[in-house]
Structure 1
C-alpha cells in the first residue's frame, strides 16, 4: 500500500484517560473519526460513546460510571455528563443517553478531579471570565465552591481526608504557577484560602499530589530544570526528591503517596521510571516499545485509586498512539493496543537530533526527518504554544511530507519547554522576535543538510501559525511558501478578541495591551503584511475561541490585496484546529498539494 496522506490520516490512535483498581482502562480512540471513549479490559474493547465531537472522561471511583467531558463543534465550552456502565449495553451512547451533570452551553465547565460520589470542576459561569473551583455531589447535585479567586485554574488535587485541596493557578510571571491551599470545610469562612507559594516567583508548580509529609509537585523553583519536590505544608519550602542537572523531570505521585512515576525529558522523548516517593530512590525503569513520548501533548499518566496500576499514552515516530498498562506489583509494562501494526512493512522516517548554531552562540534543538529520495526542498514544522515543545512522536503530516521528498525540520525554537527555564523564557514579552530570528538561523543551516534554501517553506498551527506569518513578513527573502493553521496575525487584535477568560492569561506571555501595545503592533505580521511575497495557505475553524477567525480573515484580505497568492479554507464545525477526521482529510491533502506546487 502507498504511504499517502489519506491512509496516514485514517490510522487509528489510542490514548489513556483513566484506570481502575482491577486494571480496566478508560481510553480514547479516534477510529470513528473523532476521539471517543472505549473501555479496555480482559482483551476486550467496549465502545462507550458516539458523540458528534471529541470527548474525554474519567471513571467515578467506586462505581461503574464515567464522567464524560464534551463540547460542541470545537467551541471549548465543555459540558459534563455521566454515563452509567451497563454490561447489557450493546452500542455506544449518544449524547441524549448521558445523564446531565453540569450543563450550561454558554459557559465552560472543565473536569479537574473525581472523588467517590463527587466531581471537582472549574467553571466560568459566574461572570464568563474567571474560573471558580466547585465540588459537586453526583447524587444530590449539592455544590460547594472551593475557590473563587479569579483568573484561570490549572489543576486541583484533594487530600486523602478531603479536608484540603491544592489548586494551581497562573502566577504573575510567564509560564509560572502558584499553589493555593483551600480548606474544604465551608465553616472556615474567609480564611479558607492560603498561598503556599508566592505569586510573583518565576517558577512552575505542576502535578500536585498529597503525601503525609506535604504536597509533592513538579517544580523548577530556584532551579534551571524541573524536578520533583515535597513542599512543606506550612512554609511552601521545597525538599527535592528527584532532580537532574541537565534534564527536565515530570512526576506523578500515586494516590497512596508511596510511588512517583517520573518522566525524564531527553530531546523530545520521555523515559519513564518509578521512584520511591519518600526517599526519591529509583525503583525501576519502565520499558517502552521503542524510544518515544509519554505524556503531554497526549494525556499525562494516570494512576488507579489503589496505586497498583498506571496507564500511559505512548507514541513514537513509527507508532501512531497506544495505551500501556504498568503493573507496579508485577513490575511489568504491557501494551494494550498496537497501532504500529497498521503500518507493518512501511518505511517510516525516524528523526535525527541536531543542535543548529544560532546567531548569538546558542544552539536550537531540531529533529530532522530525511526522505529516502530527497528532492532538495524543506518544510519547517513549528509547534504551537508557545509554551510547548515538538516531540519525537508520530505525525502523519511529517511522514506524508517525507514520502513526497521534502526534508522536514521540526525545531524547538526559543520559548519551547523541555530544555530548561532559560530557553523557555527567552521569548517572553518584548523578546518575542527572538524566536522568529531562530527561523533565519535554521534557514542558514539548510545547505548543511543538503537542502536548497530557496525551496524552503514554513508550516505551523496556533502560535506556530504566528511564526509562519512572522517568518514570511519579517524574512520575506527566505521562505518560498507558508501554511498557517489557526494562527495569530496580529498580537493586538488577538488579545482584544480572544475569549475573555484567556486574555489576561495570555498577556503575561505576549505582553499587555495597556503597556506593550506599541511593541505588540511592531511584532505583528499584519503590520508588515506589505512585505509578504510568498504564497500562503490558511486554515481556520469558525468556532475557534482561542485565536478567533478574524485573525485569518484579516491576513487573507491583506495578502490578497497585495496580489499575493493565498488559499483560504474555513471549517464551520471546528474550533482551534481540526479535530474531525473528515475535515483533516479535506484540508491536509490540499495543503500538501499547495507545497508541491510552490516548492517545485
Structure 2
C-alpha cells in the first residue's frame, strides 16, 4: 500500500517542554500546523497558544504561568513573553494576549532557565554577535548580567542557592565545550567568573546540574565515549559516576541533586534508567515503549522542580511522537499521548541496523528501511549538523519513500555523534571530504543488498544538503538525483554570510576563512558545480539565518548553466527548514514526485 505523504505529514505529534510538581506537562503539539503549547493533565489536553509560527516554553516555578519563546517566520530572533494560565480560558492565546518580557525583534533572545519569579536568558543585543547571560525579574523587569565574556552560550544551570551559574560555552576545539562558573553576587569579593575546564580541552561538557558535591555534567574528557561525571567546583577535576566503554551515555541531574536520569545511546535509540547521583549506582530501568527513546531532534528530558517526575519525548519509526511521564519513586512510565493510534490502517517499516565497510577499514553505521516489494532504487538520507546523528525515530518522508518502492538508507557518516569522540572528530576541518567519501562507500555497498547503483539518489537538509551537493559535484558518476533542503553550496560564502553570531562558532568545525580559505574553496560543491549532471531539487526558506538563501540561489544558477534538470522552491515565511505544515504539504509531494521521475 502506498502511503500518501500528505496523510503522514498531517499526523499530530507531541513533544515535552516542561513538567510541574503536580504532574501537569507543558508540551508542544503540531495539530494546528505548527508547534504550539498545550498542557497535558489527567483531564486531557488544553491548548495554550495560537501563534503564527512554532513556539517553545517553560513553566514559571511556583506560578500558573508559562514563559513562551517565539520568533517571526523562522528568523530565529527569539522573543520572550509570559502567558498567565487561567483555568477559565476557553481558547488558546494569540500573540496579542501574551505579556511582553523581552521584546527586541532586531536581536536574538533564547530562554535558558526558569527560577521562581525570574528567567535566565541569552541575548546578543549588546553588539549583535556575542551572547550575554541575563537574569531578569518577571515582576519588576530588573536585570542582572552574569556573563558577558563574548561568543555563544549553550546551557546555564543556576545553583540551588542562586549564588552561582554554571555556563557552557564553545571551546576552541570542534564540538567541545568549556564550563565557566559565574558568581551572581560578585560584590562579596569572589571572582565573578572562573574557568572550570580548559578552553583548549577537546571534550564535550553537556547538561550541567548542581549537587552538594559539585557540578554534574555529561562529558568525554579523557575518554572516547561520553559518560556522567562530577566536576570539583574548585579544581575542575573529574570523578566518574556512570560510564560505558561501548556506548555514549548522557545524564540529567534532578533539581534536588539526588537522582540521575541516564540515557544510553544504542545505534540511534536510547535506553533510560535512574541512578543514585551521589554514587552513580543503578536504581531502576525505565520501561519505555518498544523501539527505544530517541532524543534528536526532539527536546531534552525535563524534571519537575520537586524531582518527583521526569518527562520524556518519545518517538520510534512507527510512533510519530508522544510524551511520557516517569514517576521517579517507582520508575513507572506512563504515556500521556498516543500518536500511533492515528495509524490504525497503515503499516510502517522498522529499519535494520548495518555496518557498511569503508575504503579504509572503518565501518559506517547505517539504518536500512526496506520496502516489502523493493524496485531496486535507493535514497540516501543524510542528517544535518554535522555534529548530530540520524536516529530511529518517525520520519514521514522515509515511510513515504519506502511505500513507493525506494529502499532508504540512513547513515551516520564520519562526523556523526552517538558513536564516540573518534568518529565525530573524523571529518573536522581539512578532513571534511572524508565524510563525502563515505557516500561513495555506501554507494559501493548497494549491490550487496540487492539495489541498483545506477538508481541511487541523495537527500539531505542543512549540512546534509551540503553532503547532497558535494556528492553530486565530487562523485557525478554515482548519483541519479539529489534533493537539497536549506543546504550549503560554498563553505566560503556560507561562513561569510551566515549570521555574525554563528560565524566563529562554525569556523571551529569547518575551518577558518583566514587560515583555511584554500581548502574551504576546494571542498565547496559550488567550485565543482560544472561537473553536476544529476537532476537537482532545491528547497529553501527565505528567512534562513543559518544557511542564507544565497547558498541555494548560487547553486541553482550554476546547474542551470549546465543544462541540468532542476526545481527550485523558496518559502517566504520559513527559516532554516520547513516548520509550517502547509509549506511541507506543498514542498514534499513535489520532491517525492521529482525522485520518482528520475529514479524510474
Q: TM-score when scaled to structure 2?
A: 0.99
CA displacement at 1:44 relative to structure 2: 1.4
Q: Is the 8 A contact 1:294 1:300 kept in 2?
A: no
Alignment CA distance shift 1:512-1:189 (3 Å): farther
CA displacement at 1:294 relative to structure 2: 3.5
Aligned to 1:217: 217
Residue 39 of structure 2 aligns to a residue whose secondary structure is: strand
Aligned to 1:437: 437
Aligned to 1:549: 549
The CA distance in 2 between the partners of 1:97 and 1:389, in whole Å, is: 38
Aligned to 1:355: 355
Aligned to 2:67: 67
Residue 590 of structure 1 aligns to a residue whose secondary structure is: helix
Alignment CA distance shift 1:235-1:186 (3 Å): closer
The CA distance in 1 between the partners of 2:571 and 2:100, in whole Å, is: 28
CA displacement at 1:295 relative to structure 2: 2.2
CA displacement at 1:186 relative to structure 2: 4.3
The CA distance in 2 between the partners of 1:47 and 1:503, in whole Å, is: 38
Alignment CA distance shift 1:300-1:449 (3 Å): same
Runs of 4+ in 1 over 4 A off after TM superposition: none
Residue 496 of structure 1 aligns to a residue whose secondary structure is: helix
Q: Is the 8 A contact 2:111 2:120 kept in 1?
A: yes
Tell whether 2:145 aligns with 1:145. yes
Aligned to 2:4: 4
Residue 529 of structure 2 aligns to a residue whose secondary structure is: helix
The CA distance in 2 between the partners of 1:396 and 1:202, in whole Å, is: 36
Aligned to 1:92: 92
Worse-superposed segment, 109-118 or 339-348: 339-348
Aligned to 2:538: 538
Aligned to 1:56: 56
Aligned to 2:331: 331
CA displacement at 1:345 relative to structure 2: 3.3
Aligned to 1:205: 205
1:178-203 Cα distance to aligned partner (Å, 9 max, x none): 00000001425793000000000000
CA displacement at 1:329 relative to structure 2: 2.0
Aligned to 2:260: 260
The CA distance in 2 between the partners of 1:207 and 1:331, in whole Å, is: 21
CA displacement at 1:293 relative to structure 2: 2.7
The CA distance in 2 between the partners of 1:70 and 1:426, in whole Å, is: 36
Residue 293 of structure 1 aligns to a residue whose secondary structure is: coil
Tell whether 2:245 aligns with 1:245. yes
Structure 2 portions without partners, runs of 5+: none
Q: Is the 8 A contact 2:294 2:391 kept in 1?
A: no
CA displacement at 1:291 relative to structure 2: 1.6
Aligned to 1:366: 366
Q: Is the 8 A contact 1:294 1:312 kept in 2?
A: no
CA displacement at 1:566 relative to structure 2: 1.2
1:122-148 Cα distance to aligned partner (Å, 9 max, x none): 000000000000000000000000000
Alignment CA distance shift 1:479-1:189 (3 Å): farther
The CA distance in 2 between the partners of 1:547 and 1:198, in whole Å, is: 31
Q: Is the 8 A contact 1:210 1:216 kept in 2?
A: yes
Q: Is the 8 A contact 2:268 2:294 kept in 1?
A: no
The CA distance in 1 between the partners of 2:49 and 2:330, in whole Å, is: 32
The CA distance in 2 between the partners of 1:125 and 1:200, in whole Å, is: 28
The CA distance in 2 between the partners of 1:583 and 1:294, in whole Å, is: 25
The CA distance in 1 between the partners of 2:532 and 2:180, in whole Å, is: 46
Tell whether 2:497 aligns with 1:497. yes
Tell whether 2:185 aligns with 1:185. yes
Aligned to 2:285: 285
The CA distance in 2 between the partners of 1:341 and 1:552, in whole Å, is: 39
Q: Is the 8 A contact 1:293 1:391 kept in 2?
A: no
1:523-549 Cα distance to aligned partner (Å, 9 max, x none): 000000010000000000000000000
The Cα RMSD (Å) is 0.9
The CA distance in 2 between the partners of 1:299 and 1:163, in whole Å, is: 28
Q: TM-score when scaled to structure 1?
A: 0.99
Worse-superposed segment, 328-337 or 385-394: 328-337
Aligned to 1:560: 560
The CA distance in 1 between the partners of 2:227 and 2:187, in whole Å, is: 36
The CA distance in 2 between the partners of 1:284 and 1:354, in whole Å, is: 30
Tell whether 2:22 aligns with 1:22. yes
Q: Please show how residues 328-477 of structure 1 align to structure 2 within 5 Å.
A: 328-477=328-477
CA displacement at 1:347 relative to structure 2: 1.6
Aligned to 2:125: 125
Equivalent residue pairs, number: 600
